[in-house]
Structure 1
Amino acid sequence: MVIQKVTEGWKVRSCQTGQCFETKVPGTVYGTWLEHGAMEDPYWRDCEDDALAMMEGEYEYETTLPFCEELMSCRAIRLKFEGIDTLADIYFNGNHLGVADNMHRVWEYPVKSLAAESGGVNTIRVRFHSPLSFIKEAYEKSPYDGSPEAMQGFPLLRKSHCSFGWDWGPRLPDAGLFRPVSLVGVEQAEIRDVWIRQIHREGTVSLSCDIAVESVCDTVCTCELKVTGPKGDTSVSQLQRKNDGFFGGIVIDNPELWWPNGYGSQPLYRVEAVLKANGEIQDIQSRMVGLRTMKVNTGADEYGSRFAHEVNGVEIFAMGADYIPEDCIRGRVNRERTRTLLEHCRDCNFNVIRVWGGGYYPD
């Protein structure tokens, strides 16, 4: 695979005022306007109202990137958006690729036939539409209410619900490319997904994997599973072919089990799926996995029924917190900030984090 990241050269323009700024991707409209001093801090006094009014309008992201010979040599090329917030028309070299309407998924479009020839440039343009207009019109057609603190119609759009206000948060329905954008070239085949399952027996854990593969030609592929333990010991297994990929597994003897904070250590195993064609590696997908069982015990007790977390057969007293989005301006959330937050939780002896459903899938 060949991956050309599209992070540089972006500009974002207000279609109403004509204001245009250089910006970064991942990023958002609010983040860009704040960086250039074009809006007040929406957390200050009643500036939230001005920020909310900004989302009555439309905005365009645009960038150009040079021809990449290695990318163009691939049989297939996809334009991949890992996070679009939320309503947008997508264009590549002036060609309309499709409409995005869900911030909770990845959007991909084939662009090989539309790409510029040698010496040319490729242009990507994303036009964002007003989420406020959408929920207003959707509510008029099908009234549906949710949280009383949020705007009417918010459940009718697949956008982070707290963008429209909540009991703890302001109404800041930002827009933008809040996760990476890239051009992905595939020569023969790629791994599209990996499912890992654990079966625990006395003294062993069986790791079984289903690998979804997509081929762009008639080549014959093979796939192997490689598991590396916490101490560096490695096991390799050749996976069996099935219609849309591969399946198989590895048995781990005397596994090092993962435990919640305060109940033991957290050893991790690296699980790698390696896809090959004609002996050449086409794609590698890697996951870090903790070996553990987990269930909720709802058996009868003297009060009616229990609700007890059990990890590796041991009842855990759950101590933790509810995780909401760290910032209404998503471009300001990064790996370092999230890690610091979780380290603070660990140091406070938390052993559970509940991911709140009105936000978005966290990294």
Structure 2
Amino acid sequence: MPMLSPKAKRNILHILPFGVLWLVFSLVYTLLERGLLGNLTYYPATGNPYFFTRNIVTTPLAALVTGLIMGVLEVFCFNKWFVKKSFSKKILFKSLIYLLIILLFLVITFIGTATDTVAAVSRKAFWNTAWVFFTDYAMLSTTVYIASIILVTQFYAEVSDSIGHAALLNFFLGKYHRPVQEERVFMFLDMRSSTTIAEKLGHVRYFEMLKEYFADLSQPVIDYQGEIYQYAGDEMIISWKLKAGLQNGDCIGCFFAMKRGLAQQASKYEARFGLLPGFKAGLHYGMVTTGEIGVLKKEIIFTGDVLNTAARIQGLCNHFGVDILISGHLAKALGPNLSFETKSLGQHNLKGRDEHMEILTVVFAI
């Protein structure tokens, strides 16, 4: 059985929470409905029969499917259609689309309450009852309840995009509520000649270019199992758990996939900004302490010498006239790899470190 790609895993992990949220809300609704109707065996507004044993299964199931559909729409459609829209416009446009989903959901639910669905829809009395139901206070309250689910799921989607799905999941699970030590690979990636580019473009157009630049560099991070830790000005810090970063040389493969991806967008950058930005990177691995920090604003941060070292290594790229440098420790951990070759640049004393460290560059990659 073929393994799921990192992109497919990421999409599934983004879609599932929508289904879970709808499932939980529907269970709450079904139990509240039971409490309000008590021992009644029919809906007072419509006279349709009410069966709790049926609803406790069908309503959550329908809600789960609806939530998963919404998750698919968010991941494969809305994230692309509305990526450049403001939050308020996202809410407006998505709400209009979700309104159609709500109406469809309610129609299906209403028809499903009929004892003999096929016979019922052909009778005028059925449609009269439907009109009463859809204009009744119960219908309006149900619509408001479902609207609240949409707001929660949209809030989840926006927060997930803002702080990262992995970070949000870790907050929920409390994985790093207490500090945890773990080995990680870090890549410090920095734009070349950023000051010169900013002066040429002006601050507003430079910022617009940064948005395009970071967006185009993000897909390889997904494809090669990385996590974007931070954006710092024109710098991107990418992290991998050690096993993921070493697997198939993914931390190196990610860099060259970024190079290829940006080169493919050369015409776009030349047309819009009159230049194609370049970048350089330094990579190292080691032990870090990971944990939540902050009171007014919480973040999950990494602390450890490995971050400073990776930054220092990246700072040597201009000195050696190369785009990528890695530490000897990382090169040894990666081992022989058919996808790339390395060239040693000798032992060097990095600022802030007592011992010398071997630095290598990658001279060939497929």
TM-score computed with the length of structure 1 as normaliser:
0.24
Greater strand percent: which structure?
Answer: 1
More helix by share: 2
TM-score of the aligned structures, taking structure 2 as reference length: 0.24
Larger Rg: 2
